[in-house]
Structure 1
Amino acid sequence: MLKQLYIDGQWVTPAQGGQFSCIDPATEETLQHVAAATAQDVDLAVQAARKAFNQGWSQTRGAERADWLEALADKLASKQDALAILEVCDNGKPLPEAQWDISDAIDCFRYYAGLARELDQRQDQPLELPDPRFSCRIRHEPVGVAGQIIPWNYPLLMAAWKVAPALAAGATCVLKPSELTSLTALELAVAASDVGLPAGVLNIVTGLGNEAGAALGAHPDVDKMAFTGSVPTGAKIMSAAAAEIKNISLELGGKSAFIVFDDADVEAAVEWIMFGIFWNQGQVCSATSRLLVQEGIAPRLTERLLDAARRIRIGPGLEPGVQLGPLVSAGQHRKVLSMIEQGKQQATLLTGGKRPGHLPEGYFLEPTIFAEPATDSRLWREEIFGPVLCIRRFKTEAEALQQANDSRFGLAAAVMSADLERSARVANGLRAGIVWVNCSQPTFTQAPWGGMKQSGIGRELGRWGLENYLEVKQVTEYRSQDAWGWYLKQE
């Protein structure tokens, strides 16, 4: 049965009747046929969101919106196990990772329910002015209709990161999930329907990026665009938004550095290095894919890292004990393999770099580690988005910091050292929106997420995520009974 679009609280067939297939990356078999929206469908979704915004959702109290968010969280929690399995089949990640993601998505809705309630207390707060004849109050009002485009690496979690704060703020949403992983986003629509979320508040349009995504990004009645994905697509969205002077937030690519100093614990370092590059098959925008190791510890750490990487269990995500699943699609598999082949001319391949011999089907790839790529090579500078790690040695703190910052990206970075003063100094010197000390990749809903340079604009999560969907208004009142008199008394 065809998975339909969710527009204005109804399941609808796309105007042109198009569809595409969602593929299980572990088996290369079709999981589901999904409706492919075009510009006409996107327009209907935007109209529905505008109607819902104008006719009441924007005027609801934060406490009321919080109740809806809690209801969505409860509904998702009631089928948490099934959602995790669906995520594995659609995306490929190991089941424990998917379970973690679904739990985080549920927690995200609950967190923003709390902020929605707090928003009521923030409304109409007085602002002290130097002239007692005037009073001023500050209001926080929803931005309007939000267009939201999410990637395929964390399907339901990325939906939560965008939908939850938008609804908490009083905005309405048109969400476009990736065509590679649309199934759990559609389950969010099922949850919205089941709890009776008012029609048009959340609309989900599945479709191809160059059709549905482009139409959403360019729609003149969308007040804000929020996008997570590649730099080239982010640039197109930014360009389209410029024509309307539209509010945007962009979370784009990364090529994050992980600096390990001589005094770091080797076992702990290896564990966090592995987590930083092999979690989710390396398909993480913040993946710490550039490893900088101080010379004194480099031989021992590299040996231990290679041993651990070669023992990673690779296989379908639903198999017990699997630590590395397939890449998300045939196209992504080809892209990463192509980068590895080029990399062999730019650096020394230490391990991996090919499909595992025992897995002839599925988009599987061995954990891959290169040594000493040139700092101007594609291998070192470009985002690969796969389980590919590059290692370079350094001598001094200044050299490590220079190499880490020598990138067009600035999403994340990590530093590991027993010297906490040095760690703090390096963390302060890193040009990245997220810095981890003695760890890599821990992510909390309460903390801001976003990058510098070409890694994006704005921040998601925490209170910053809510502010993405709010406009600040001042209301200033003249309290005196006398006329202002600036002009009349000049006569």
Structure 2
Amino acid sequence: MFRGKLYIDGTWTGDLLDTFDVKNPATGEVVGVMPNGGKAEAAAAIEAAQRAFLKWRKYTAAERANFLMTWHDLLLQQKEEIAEMLTMEMGKPLAEARGEIEYSASFIRWFAEEGKRVYGRTVPASAENKRIHVQKQPVGVVAAITPWNFPAAMIVRKMAPALAAGCTFVGKPAELTPLTAVKIVELCEEAGFPKGVVNLVCGDAKEIGEEMTSHEHVRKLTFTGSTAVGKLLMKQSAGRMLNLSLELGGQAPMIICDDADLDKAVAGVVASKYRNAGQTCVCGNRIYVQETIVDEFVKRLTGKVVQLKVGNGLEEGVHIGPLIEKKGYEKVKAHVDDAVAKGARVVIGGKGQEGNDSYFYDPTILTDVHDEMLVMQEETFGPVAPIQTFATDEDVIEKANGTRYGLAAYFFTENYARGIRLSEALDFGIVGWNDGAPSIAQAPFGGMKESGLGREGGQEGIEAFLETKFVSIGL
């Protein structure tokens, strides 16, 4: 069993604190123990980060990049060990866990280089005896709160640009999956980051969150999670006008047009909908299929879904692991039960499996779905694909945009002009055109409307950790 610790000011600590268990959601087995930190530990980490920031910000971009690339190399060298830890605490299949580690490493590499391209500029002055310079500077101490569904990627996607920009970092992983974050921070220590540059606290979410939003030395808060919690953090941060990046909930539509390559569309739906057992904020939650092709599409999709194996993510050949906890399982079950009660037809799946503190749900396809069903109104966060038909592009665009969320959307068409019109009409921050898995390190990731503020990845990802300063020089 893994015994994790908090990492504050270059020291692993927390031995005197109460602890909480971390369980494998596939078996209910306790796989780790973590100290239950709170306000005092969060404050100590923030103060250590502030002391370190005064020095770290003065390192050159190239020097910071060297630390990041050492960290990157260590992460890939220990990919198997960390992927196994990730699967044990989160449940996703080991192949997916390996992919998440590789995805995480791609952000470290990208931002190690992007940190060298933080450019200012010289602006023409309005008077002969003036010079105007615009500078980019690190925002300061960054506090990050990350979710359980991607225990490696979500913390790394925030940490890498923050460190590359010259900020210092205090991370708080989810209590359900903190062990992967501990392993990642261990690699930061091994990479030689100066003490206080990277800190990790875990425990009481309320106490830690309140300290992060109120402490005078925190200059930025970055959060990935539910819209409800994002709004709460925004309220808590308002008194200090805290710089925020919020990556929140989704309700992604997937549109299958009558001129789509159906094999490509089916592959895209499977990749989006069933990855991580549907427990992703960008997974297709509402599938709209043009009415003239729905029978053939459902036939082909069913042929793929029937091949998906459910089980312990550590076992060979498993495609879909457990749901993370009972609350999530009950939501998925409630969505399917509600849909069936209101007239939906279960094509495949529609059943759950409860074990000893473990919860699995079979990959499911529903047809005859309509807008009054919960599965079309709320984020299911499970392996359930509800299919509704549409007649015209105008109709499906209205339905797709008819949500307060705007994180990701997908459509499948082989018609270029139609694709351009759809991509421009959809009110979502990420759009996959014939692509069920569009996220990459070099492109901005984030949403519109109630799906959040700011972007991660791409050039925009490092801008989120920079302040812009205008200097007017009189000669």
Letter aligned with residue 86 of structure 1: M
Rounded to whole Å, the distance in 1 between the matches of 2:153 and 2:361 is 24
The answer (yes or no) to whether the contact 1:263–1:417 under 8 Å persists in 2 is yes
5+ residue gaps, structure 1: 480-491
Letter aligned with residue 353 of structure 1: G
Rounded to whole Å, the distance in 1 between the matches of 2:294 and 2:213 is 46
Letter aligned with residue 3 of structure 2: L
Which residue number in structure 1 is paired with residue 142 of structure 2? 146
Rounded to whole Å, the distance in 2 between the matches of 1:89 and 1:371 is 34
Rounded to whole Å, the distance in 2 between the matches of 1:347 and 1:279 is 27
Which residue number in structure 1 is paired with residue 13 of structure 2? 12
- Is 1:118 paired with 2:144? no
Rounded to whole Å, the distance in 2 between the matches of 1:37 and 1:344 is 44
Aligned CA distance change for structure 1 residues 335 and 18 (closer, same or farther; 3 Å)? farther
Letter aligned with residue 199 of structure 2: N
1:4-153 residue pairs with structure 2 within 5 A?
A: 4-13=5-14, 17-54=17-54, 56-119=55-118, 122-123=119-120, 125-153=121-149
- 1:262 is paired with a residue whose SS is coil
Letter aligned with residue 161 of structure 2: P
Residue 118 of structure 1 and its aligned partner are, at CA, apart by 2.3
The answer (yes or no) to whether the contact 1:218–1:237 under 8 Å persists in 2 is no
Letter aligned with residue 111 of structure 1: W
Which residue number in structure 2 is paired with residue 381 of structure 1? 377
Which residue number in structure 1 is paired with residue 264 of structure 2? 268
- Is 1:252 paired with 2:253? no
Cα displacement string for residues 209-265 of structure 1 (whole angstroms, at most 9, x for unaligned residues): 233234323333311100000011000110011010110010000010011111112
Cα displacement string for residues 1-25 of structure 1 (whole angstroms, at most 9, x for unaligned residues): 631110000011166x121111111
Which residue number in structure 2 is paired with residue 306 of structure 1? 302
Give me the CA root mean square deviation.
1.6
Rounded to whole Å, the distance in 2 between the matches of 1:171 and 1:270 is 42
Pick one of 239, 244, 248 that aligns with 1:243.
239
Rounded to whole Å, the distance in 1 between the matches of 2:219 and 2:80 is 36
Which residue number in structure 2 is paired with residue 3 of structure 1? 4
Residue 436 of structure 1 and its aligned partner are, at CA, apart by 0.8
Pick one of 425, 433, 436 that aligns with 1:437.
433
Which residue number in structure 2 is paired with residue 338 of structure 1? 334
Cα displacement string for residues 349-382 of structure 1 (whole angstroms, at most 9, x for unaligned residues): 412222259x777321101222233324322111
Rounded to whole Å, the distance in 2 between the matches of 1:424 and 1:38 is 49
Structure with bigger gyration radius:
1
Aligned CA distance change for structure 1 residues 23 and 241 (closer, same or farther; 3 Å)? same
Which residue number in structure 2 is paired with residue 355 of structure 1? 352
The answer (yes or no) to whether the contact 1:87–1:155 under 8 Å persists in 2 is yes
The answer (yes or no) to whether the contact 2:134–2:470 under 8 Å persists in 1 is yes
Letter aligned with residue 140 of structure 1: K
Rounded to whole Å, the distance in 1 between the matches of 2:217 and 2:370 is 47
Moved more, 302-311 or 174-183: 302-311
1:358-437 residue pairs with structure 2 within 5 A?
A: 362-437=358-433
The answer (yes or no) to whether the contact 2:345–2:368 under 8 Å persists in 1 is no
Rounded to whole Å, the distance in 2 between the matches of 1:419 and 1:130 is 50
- 2:288 is paired with a residue whose SS is strand
Moved more, 166-175 or 129-138: 129-138
Moved more, 318-327 or 41-50: 318-327
Rounded to whole Å, the distance in 2 between the matches of 1:89 and 1:349 is 34
Cα displacement string for residues 424-465 of structure 1 (whole angstroms, at most 9, x for unaligned residues): 111100000011111212211000000001100111111111
1:161-200 residue pairs with structure 2 within 5 A?
A: 161-200=157-196
Residue 196 of structure 1 and its aligned partner are, at CA, apart by 2.0
Moved more, 183-192 or 247-256: 183-192
TM-score where L is the length of structure 1: 0.93
Rounded to whole Å, the distance in 1 between the matches of 2:303 and 2:357 is 26
> In percent, how many aligned pairs have the same letter?
36
Letter aligned with residue 324 of structure 2: V
- 2:316 is paired with a residue whose SS is coil
Letter aligned with residue 58 of structure 2: Q
Rounded to whole Å, the distance in 2 between the matches of 1:98 and 1:452 is 28
Which residue number in structure 1 is paired with residue 468 of structure 2? 472
Letter aligned with residue 104 of structure 1: Y
- 2:131 is paired with a residue whose SS is strand
The answer (yes or no) to whether the contact 1:224–1:246 under 8 Å persists in 2 is yes
Which residue number in structure 2 is paired with residue 459 of structure 1? 455
TM-score where L is the length of structure 2: 0.96
- 2:195 is paired with a residue whose SS is coil
Cα displacement string for residues 274-318 of structure 1 (whole angstroms, at most 9, x for unaligned residues): 111001110110111110110110111112222322221111112
5+ residue gaps, structure 2: none
Rounded to whole Å, the distance in 1 between the matches of 2:370 and 2:239 is 40
- 2:473 is paired with a residue whose SS is strand
Aligned CA distance change for structure 1 residues 399 and 14 (closer, same or farther; 3 Å)? farther
- 2:385 is paired with a residue whose SS is strand
The answer (yes or no) to whether the contact 1:14–1:41 under 8 Å persists in 2 is no
- 2:117 is paired with a residue whose SS is helix
The answer (yes or no) to whether the contact 2:350–2:363 under 8 Å persists in 1 is yes
Residue 384 of structure 1 and its aligned partner are, at CA, apart by 1.3
Rounded to whole Å, the distance in 1 between the matches of 2:98 and 2:326 is 24
Rounded to whole Å, the distance in 1 between the matches of 2:396 and 2:289 is 8
The answer (yes or no) to whether the contact 1:207–1:213 under 8 Å persists in 2 is no
Which residue number in structure 2 is paired with residue 449 of structure 1? 445
The answer (yes or no) to whether the contact 1:224–1:247 under 8 Å persists in 2 is yes
Rounded to whole Å, the distance in 2 between the matches of 1:292 and 1:135 is 56
- 2:361 is paired with a residue whose SS is coil
